[in-house]
Amino acid sequence: MLLLLLYLMRDTCITYLMVVRLPSDVQSFEEKIKYQNDYMESIKKMEESWSKNKKNLAEERLALGVENGLDITVNRRRCTLLCCSEC
Query: Of all helices (H) and strands (E), which one includes residue 69?
Result: none
Domain count, the chain: 1
Rounded Cα gap, residues 79 and 87, in angstroms: 20
- The pLDDT of residue 72 is 56
- Specify the DSSP class assigned to residue 77: S
- The pLDDT of residue 75 is 56
Domain that holds residue 37: 2-83
Of 48, 42, 1, nearest to 20 by C-alpha is 1
Q: Where are the alpha helices (H) located in 1-87, listed in sequence order?
A: 25-60
Low-confidence ranges of the chain (pLDDT < 70): 1-27, 57-87
